[in-house]
Chain A
Amino acid sequence: MTSDFLLNLAQAVTKGLLTGMVYGLMALGLSVIFGVMRVVNFAHGEMMVVGMYLAWMGFEYLEVSPLLSLPLIAAIFFAVGYGLQRSLISPFIGRPEHQQFLLLLAVAILLVNACLAIAGPDSRGVQMESQFDSYELGPLVLDAVRLHAALAAVAIALLLWLFFSRTRTGKSIRAAADNHLAALVVGLDVRRLYAFTFGVGAACVGAAGALMITIIPVTPFLAAEYTLLAFVIVIVGGLGSMTGALMGGLLIGVSEAVAGLLVQPSLKSMFSFGLLILVLLLRPQGLFGKSNS
């Protein structure tokens, strides 16, 4: 009885960790954009849904696996994100938050309706050969699709860390995020860096979308759910913290899986929000966030 329970628990934790890694990648984009530009991307979930649709279209019409179309989708998202920041978001930096909120809400509504107009309201999923596969690791059974998605998410997060810690552009972005005025004084092109950051954030979301479509089917109405989920993750992890976003993703993934096992699966979201309330009460800056004071 006890060993059975422990095995089931280990199985749930493993599954939660794998899903949490993709969640983490999704939230990473939101966290990067806020950490550098102090702009909260309320169109985050919608961007992810667009990424899912692009991957679905690649699979459906060109028979390209989402894992293979991922780099192209990330590149498209980077370019669009860069352009969007330069043309639309840049004038709103430094303006009151409610103006930023309304702008990005408008972008979100446009994206959802564009998806609805192009792909319709029906659920769209990819049916790959690996969809039914799993790997055995001792007594644990690992879902192949989830494992591939999680490994890809970890690889992308690692690339992002290398970019921010080893490249000149990455270091400049961090400098601009730490001290905007000083960055201007030393001659950094902060406007370009902000656009670059938004592009990187968007590329993360696009990549997360390409991975997520291998796990679940997409509908346009999924967007709001993912915006909310990304916010829960980054608030729990700490808004603006990359480590926080990744850890928050893992924490939410595991808490949902374990709650589903121990209580009732239909109540699993309640635990994510319970965790959010707890963090807001005890550590408002998030688990890995910096306190304002």
Chain B
Amino acid sequence: MTSRKTFTRRHLGQTALAGATLIGAPLPLRYAAAQTAGNLKVALLLPTSGIQAQIGQACRRGGDVANEVFADMKMPVKLEIANYDTESKPDVARTQAEKAIDAGAQMLVGAFDSGQTIAIAQVAEQRGVPMVVNIAAAPQITEQGYKFIVRNFPTAPMLITGALALHKEIFKVSGKTPKTAVLMSINDTFGTAMVNGIKALFPKLDMPYEIVDTITYDPAAKDLSVEVGKAKATKAELLMPVSRLNDAKLLIQEMVKQRWEPMGVMNPGAPGLYEQDFFKTMGKYSDFLISNVPWLDPKSAMTQALEKRHAAKFPKDQLDINGGFTFEGLLVAAQAWLTAKSTKADALMDALRKTRIDQHVIIGGPIQFDAKGQNVNIKAAAVENLKRKPTVVLPLEAAAAPLVFPMPGWNDKRRT
């Protein structure tokens, strides 16, 4: 039995109509069509449980809306994102990275914490799979000659230099300068890198205050009363905490209990003080603490799109730099794939090295990586907690509210 197919005028009309529909379709439909077959498989490795769970989950929310923001920004790309939980432990991070690669991940993004990131980077390097670091400041990540790692986050020295420069600006703007400071830091990979960096950079930066003591503690500490007691005993006028979220809460709680009211609490480039859970737990005591960190650029169209999508999907959650940097990590991956037009590791790495992304979400110049795989264009902002919200107060051109320094006392009327 045979069938005869003839190309009639009716068929010609139908084909022409289909072609015209496709060409004439609204742009979003065309981008949606482009976001289908042959997508890049990205493993997003984050500490969504364990001691860093809240921050890990904040990072993940940035990843969860990434494809929608790409569509809003008319990027013809849709990533296949698989989430992996590192449980806040480097050994689990390593195992999860291996599992992700075995499952076919063509690029890795993560992992918030330096220790976990180093563990994943070793696997990525061994297996030849490109990795984009979203958040991790330990300098060694981009100092070991790795071929498959790029980092879109400042190194500890970059964080410190930016933050301490902002300290001086804060003193200049407020007209008040503390003479002494105490440095309190977690003793994990990130904390140690920060403390060593501060000790090395401090003499070169001509700071107006002296660091009278450095107190380190376990990031999983359940009680910081002894540590805060010791810091209070120094009578330092400024507290510089290098913290994570949980210990930042313990730290401020103990300061309130022990009635220690220094001139200010200003971190030298660390998380902990601006996270949503920090505001929720600390209430009025969260206000007037200052973080000197990279921050979201409110004027960027992409930031606005990210904020809109984030607010729609997670109405109860605040978008912060954890979500912002994770989104940017995926943006870097997506752009590399668009440039490479291939999922092969070498092609993706070539594309990553040539990356130049002008339109992104964090304050600073275009996302570009130097020979070591480090983005050196990220800038810091002074973010003060005002009315339970992290608010940019410096640099002045990006300020959303005036700076309040020195910090009002714990029972001051301005805390409501």
Contacts and interface: CB of A to CB of B under 8 A. Distances in A.
Interface of A: 4-5, 8, 11-12, 15, 19, 120-123, 127, 131-134, 141, 143-144, 146, 215-217, 219, 222, 256-257, 260-261, 264-266, 268
Nearest to B216: A266
Given A121-B87, A264-B215, 17 more contacts: A15-B225, A15-B226, A19-B223, A120-B49, A123-B51, A127-B281, A132-B253, A132-B285, A141-B259, A143-B257, A144-B257, A216-B223, A217-B222, A219-B51, A257-B225, A260-B226, A265-B217
A261 B281 contact: no
Interface stretch (B24-32, B204-212, B227-235, B304-312): B227-235
A125 B180 CA distance: 34
A12 B222 contact: no
A132 B259 CA distance: 10
Contacts of B223: 19, 215-216
7 contacts: A12-B226, A12-B229, A122-B53, A131-B253, A216-B223, A257-B226, A257-B229
Contacts of B225: 15, 143, 146, 257
B50 A265 contact: no
B143 to A, nearest CB: 26
A132 B229 contact: no
Nearest to A216: B222
B53 to A, nearest CB: 5
Contacts of B218: 266
Given A131-B253, A132-B257, A144-B257, A268 B49 contact: no
Contact of B259 (A15, A19, A134, A146): A134
A266 B187 contact: yes
B303 interface: no
B87, B187, B215, B226: residue with the most chain A Cβ atoms closer than 10 Å: B226
Interface of B: 49-51, 53-54, 87, 187, 215-218, 222-227, 229-230, 233, 246, 253, 256-259, 281, 285, 410
Given A132-B285, A141-B259, A261-B229, A266 B222 contact: no
A166 B332 CA distance: 74
A217 B51 CA distance: 11
A124 to B, nearest CB: 11
A8 B50 CA distance: 34
A134 B410 CA distance: 13
Contacts of B215: 264-265
B257 A134 contact: yes
A123 B281 CA distance: 13
Contacts of A265: 215-217, 224, 226-227, 230
B393 to A, nearest CB: 25
A141 B285 CA distance: 19
A152 to B, nearest CB: 18
B331 to A, nearest CB: 29
B257 A8 contact: no
Nearest to A134: B257
B222 A133 contact: no
